[in-house]
Amino acid sequence: MKDTPLSNCERDFLLKAIEEKKRLDGRQTYDYRKIKITFGTDYGCCFVDLGKTRVMAQVSCELVAPKENRPNEGIMFFNIELSPMASPAFEQGRQSELSVKLNRQLERCLRNSKCIDTESLCVVSGEKVWQIRVDVHMLNHDGNLMDAASIAAITALCHFRRPDVGIQGDEVTVYSPEERDPIPLSIYHMPISVSFSFFQQGTYLLVDPCEREERVMDGLLMIAMNKHREICSIQSSGGIMLLKDQVMRCSKIASVKVSEITELISKALDNDKKARKAGGRCGFAESIPQERITALKMDETPVEMMDVTDRANDIVQKAEAPPQTVPSPVVPAPGVGQVGQGLQNTWGLEEQEESDNSGEEQEEIKTQMKEKKDENRGGDVVEISDSEEEEVVILHPEAPDKLPKNTGSGSHQKGAATTKKRQKK
Amino acid sequence: MFSTLMVRVGEVLLPGDEFSCETDDTISLTDHVKPEKVVCGPGLRRSGDRLVVCKSGVLRHKQPNVFWIDSQQRRYVPAKGETVIGIVTTKSGDIFKVDFGGSEQASLSYLAFEGATKRNRPNVQVGDLVFAQFIIANKDMEPELVCIDSSGRANGMGVFGGGGLLFRVSLGLVRRLLSPHSEIRSDLDQLFTCELVVGMNGRLWVRSSSVQQTLIIANLLQSCDTMTAPQRRELFRRVKQGAL
Amino acid sequence: MQLSTIPPRSYVISKSPSAAKQMTSSTLDRLLFLHGGGVMEVCGSSSVTLREFGCEQSLLSRPDGSASFIQGDTSVLAGVYGPAEVKVSKEIYDRATLEVLIQPKVGLPSVRERSQEQCVRETCEASLLLSLHPRSSLTLILQVLHDDGSLLSCFLNAACMALMDAGLPMSCLFCGVTCAIDTDGQIITDPTAAQEKESRALMTFAIDSTERRVLMSSTKGSFSVHELQQCIAVSQKASEKIFQFYRDSVRRRYSKTL
């Protein structure tokens, strides 16, 4: 599905507004949109709202074999999923340029900056390490996906608890959360990405561009930084030429933004910790805004069950009784059983043609018939009803080759078999 | 049928709600019996002898016998005669392809502008906005737009001039803005002087004296969607105090 | 070396108070049935409650319709785009092409998600009037936010709310109800993940709003015909609560435009 095209009028207006230091949503040049951090019910799940942009991050872990060259380090895996929910332009299962760019940037921001102590994720050196997987899902795209994704990912990592493990000799036991409290990851610092968009070949700069601003921008600079003002990664795209001063200014702005966001994240984490300790319900379900008219919540409701059993009984009784009689199975050839209507395969070769077959096969058929006949005489194994015998009688003599050679009464079969034998001879 | 519908005007209905058209048991011999006629608008469908609601929203009525469901939808479905704001996406030969936010692009002939001839082509570039009217809009055919009325006059339609801002609101708000005595419109009139173009496809274009004012109007209109009349008046009053 | 791995999310135990309540009240009015063959069957009918549920419509700005639906701790986010442009390869000449995508929380969609997608798609196709928008595409994306049992029914409910929010023409509404039969033969509606694990059979029904017919059923485990009928009857009863909830939330939403 295609995205709505951007009209010339929007482009001109946006550029004119930027020149006048005005933005679509009334923000100032260096303002971030409202950031809201919500946690899910389980550990390691985090939602971030950045204005209308919305992302979700989920951290999970798994015991795997370590990489050959790093036998005592855990593995970090990042995956940014551009869900088609976020924008009609995103397609499922397709690696777009944007998703590669975002994935790479997140990896550089969180893995290459060594913000997580991967050595503490080692269980048995060279054999078992924890693989920490971070899935970031884009839910609504209104610009600046990178910043939202980096905030969500690092917050989810801080929130995550992995199960405790015990090692006794060669045996590794993973304890459930009831047995032993799960352990948080050890995180050295929290890198956060801050995006700057440039317009008119770098003359104007905006922090946290929204979707329409991203469409008209000339270039983008992403700086990942922690609160100690250490730059973890820096990337410029769009092919604009920036001056040294501009990059310095951006890094200064980034340091301010990062400390604000870090403060917010730790506050949110503290808040969640308290709520969990108090044993109250927490998570996404509790975050539904009650005051909005688009939202409604209902308490646990019992379902009236008075006549359910009666009704079920009624239906069962009224329903047609399943046929108790099972049609007797027929054995057309050794190791084969057949039930159902007709019991006669009209797709097969006609018997005239069959007579061309080798003598051995015919012999086999004959002996089989005889065996069957014997069984019938015994009367205890295969029961042949009267109706089947009638069926045989009705058949036209013009088409004797279509006779069901394996069904019907024994005498007929014998007859058929003998005629065949004669033909062969 | 008419009376059963009339009773529920103003109520919120959901898909699957039904109106059965049961006839009266006794037919008066003295009165003149008129066949009942009801016109169903969007959201109502006839199914056998019943009328079925197929969209969620409020049941509305217009004299004498028109009924429809007023819903807060965002995706536009074209209807003949409606005017929309479209974005020209391609020029191919004699026609322009116009994106209007529906399920396929509409075609717009270069001759369907006022005063356009084979020699005198209108000046339309890719990415330009056009205000146009549907002359073909049904589910089985490619929609077609024109920028002239039946007498060949522009009548307000055509390519947009420079400046101004395009933004999106819900289709419900657009209908409220276009209703004959729209309160939102008159409230806005008292606040700012501006040029406003309303497309039935949920696109609004606004131009006023300054960028700042244009942005304020755009944000005000976008927030009108979820406000009651008193809330809106209160907001407009505050803006007026702040802006003046 | 022996190793017992725990899947990342398996240790989530419901904190919902309803779970405990359901367990304790289950001993009330049990019914005993004597079948012809002398087989005794225990059928409980008391522990039937729906966990608290909530919904928010139009919470995302990009999709044409969106809704989040929450049942206890289970929550799903749904977004709908359409009627929109369709790829030529997927175009159907007389009706809209409906695509349902389910995004799991961890990893990529697998066979399980594909089968759930099909269940949801078939239910939606039964209730949507697709012939009104031929040669167009409808895309429904469902994102798992948290799985604590009854996920498929939550998908269905979120899907219905999102389709309604998008204003797509529908002949009727639908809702999903999950029933579990535990080892004692008790029916539990809207089970949590822990209850699902302990159950003998698990059934999810999609029920339509006009005649309470079953639009779709998806079952797991073994059960008798009688139990199936009972579960359908229970689900039909429970569906009334959900449909009333739909009506209340839409009414609330339109309260300002009345």
Those of residues 238-297 in A touching chain C at CB distance below 8 A are 279, 281, 283-285, 288-289, 292-297
CB atoms within 10 A of CB B184: 18
| Closest residue in A to C249 (Cα–Cα) | A296
Q: Could you give the C-alpha distances from A249 to A197, A207, A221, in angstroms and in order?
A: 13, 12, 12
Give the residue from C34, C77, C144 with the most A CB atoms within 10 Å of its CB, the best one to mutate.
C77
C150: left (phi over 0), alpha (psi -120 to 50) or beta: left
Flag if A17 and B127 touch (Cβ within 8 Å): no
CB contacts of C26 in chain A (<8 Å) are none
Contacts of A54 (CB under 8 A, 6+ apart): A47, A48, A138, A139, A140, A148, C60
Distance (Å) from the alpha carbon of C162 to chain B's nearest alpha carbon: 11
User: Is the CATH number 2.40.50.140 carried by domain B82-159?
Assistant: yes
Is A10's CB within 8 Å of B163's CB?
A: no
> Is the bond preceding residue A191 a cis peptide, omega within 30 degrees?
no
- Residue A148 CB: number of other CB atoms within 10 A? 31
How many beta-carbon contacts under 8 Å exist across A and C?
214
Measure A285 CA to nearest chain C CA, in Å: 6
CB contact under 8 A, C81 and A1: yes
A294 vs C253: CB contact, 8 Å cut-off?
A: yes
Boundaries of every domain in chain B: 1-70, 82-159, 165-241
Please judge whether B45 and C169 are an interchain contact, meaning their C-beta atoms are less than 8 angstroms apart: yes
In the structure encoding, which two tokens stand for residue B1, read together?
A: 């049928």
Give the architecture (CATH level 2) of B1-70.
Answer: Beta Barrel (2.40)
Q: Provide the 8-state DSSP code for A1.
A: -
To test the contact with chain C by mutation, choose from B9, B14, B18, B56 the residue with the greatest count of C C-beta atoms within 10 A, namely B56
Written as six digits, the tokens of B73 are: 């939808």
Nearest CA to B59 out of B12, B7, B4 is that of B12
Please list every residue in chain A whose beta carbon sits closer than 8 Å to the beta carbon of residue B212: 20, 22
Chain centroid to CA A282: 25
Nearest to C180 by CA among C117, C234, C104, C114: C234
Query: Is pLDDT above 70 for A288?
Result: no
pLDDT at A418: 46
Angle between helices A145-159 and A97-110 (to 10 degrees): 40
What is the structure's pLDDT at A395? Answer: 45
**A5 Cβ under 8 Å from any chain B Cβ:** yes
Whether the link from the prior residue into A302 is cis, omega within 30° of 0, is no
Cα dihedral value A205, A208, A211, A215, nearest 10: 30
Q: What is the mean pLDDT of residues A26-32?
A: 90
For the ranges A214-223, A242-251, A306-315, C13-22, the lowest mean pLDDT is seen at C13-22
Asked if A62 is an interface residue toward chain C (Cβ–Cβ < 8 A), one would say yes
Instruction: Read off the pLDDT of residues B67-101 as tens digits, 9 standing for 90 and up.
Output: 999 888 889 999 999 999 999 999 988 899 999 99
Interchain proximity C237–A142, CB inside 8 Å: no
Of the pLDDT bands very low, low, confident and very high (cuts 50, 70, 90), residue A381 is: very low
Q: Residue A200 corresponds to which amino acid? A: Q
- DSSP 8-class letter at B104: S
The answer to whether the Cβ–Cβ distance between A60 and C106 falls below 8 Å is yes
C-beta of residue A28 within 8 angstroms of C-beta of residue B147: no
Residues in C closer than 8 angstroms to B74, CB to CB, are: 64-65, 166-167
Instruction: State residue A232 phi and psi, 5-degree precision.
Output: -95, -35
Residues in chain A with CB shorter than 8 Å from the CB of B74 are none
Interface contact flag, B102 C83, Cβ < 8 Å = yes
Q: How far apart are CA A27 and CA A251, in angstroms?
A: 20
Specify the range with the lowest mean pLDDT, choosing from A342-351, B67-76, B185-194: A342-351
Give CA separation, A327 vs A5, A79, A394, C117, in Å: 67, 57, 21, 39
The stretches in chain C having pLDDT less than 50 are 1-45
Q: Chain A partners of B87 at a C-beta cutoff of 8 Å?
A: 4-5, 7
Give A158 or A416, the one with higher predicted confidence: A158
Residue with the two structure tokens 């173009």: B197
How far A211 CA sits from the closest chain B CA (Å)? 13
pLDDT value for A351:
56
CATH code reported for the domain at C10-257: 3.30.230.70
* Dist CA A204 CA A20 (whole Å): 10
Touching partners of C (3+ C-beta pairs < 8 Å): A, B
Residue A334: the pLDDT is 77
- The CA distance from B96 to B143, in Å, is 12
- A375 against A146, higher pLDDT: A146
DSSP structure string for B131-182: EEEEEE--TTS--EEESS-TTS--TT-EE--S--EEEE--HHHHHHHHSTT-
* C134/B140 Cβ within 8 A: yes
Whole-number Å distance between alpha carbons of B201 and B77 = 8
Residue A60 has pLDDT above 50, yes or no: yes
Contact assessment for residue A51 and residue A25, using Cβ atoms and an 8 Å cutoff: yes
The owner of tokens 């806005």 is B188
**DSSP per-residue letters across A211-235:** HHHHHH-SEEEEEEE-TT--EEEEE
Topology (CATH level 3) of domain A30-275: Ribosomal Protein S5; domain 2 (3.30.230)
Contact B228/C at CB under 8 A: yes
Touching chains, A (3+ CB pairs < 8 A)? B, C
Is pLDDT of A56 > 80? yes
By the 8 A CB rule, do B32 and B24 touch? no
The pLDDT of A325-335, averaged and rounded, is 68
The alpha carbon torsion through A175, A180, A182, A187 (nearest 10 deg) reads -110
Within 8 A of A135 by CB-CB distance, chain C residues are 105-107
The reply to whether the predicted model has a pTM over 0.90 is: no
Q: Which of A338, A340, A318 shows the shortest CA–CA distance to A330?
A: A338
Q: What is the pLDDT of residues C221-241, one digit of tens each?
A: 999 998 999 999 999 999 999
Q: How far apart are CA A168 and CA A190, in angstroms?
A: 34
Q: Which residue of A has its CA nearest to B101?
A: A4
> Residue B70, Cβ neighbours under 10 Å: how many?
22
CATH of domain B165-241: 3.30.1370.10
Least confident of A279-293, A326-340, A406-420, B134-148: A406-420
Q: Does B242 touch chain A (CB under 8 A)?
A: no
Strands (DSSP E) contained in A258-391 are: 295-298, 301-302
- Residues whose CB is less than 8 angstroms from the CB of residue B173 and which lie 6 or more positions away in sequence, other chains included: B184, B202, B221, B224, B225
Neighbours of C145 (CB within 10 A): 27
Taking only the tens place, the pLDDT of each residue in C74-97 is: 999 999 998 999 999 999 999 999
Q: Is C127 helix (H, G, I), strand (E, B) or coil?
A: helix
Q: Does A419 have pLDDT greater than 50?
A: no
CA distance B4 to C120: 35
Q: Which of A139-148, A238-247, B35-44 has the lowest mean pLDDT?
A: B35-44
**Helix, strand, coil % (nearest 5) of chain A?**
35, 25, 40
pLDDT for A280: 65
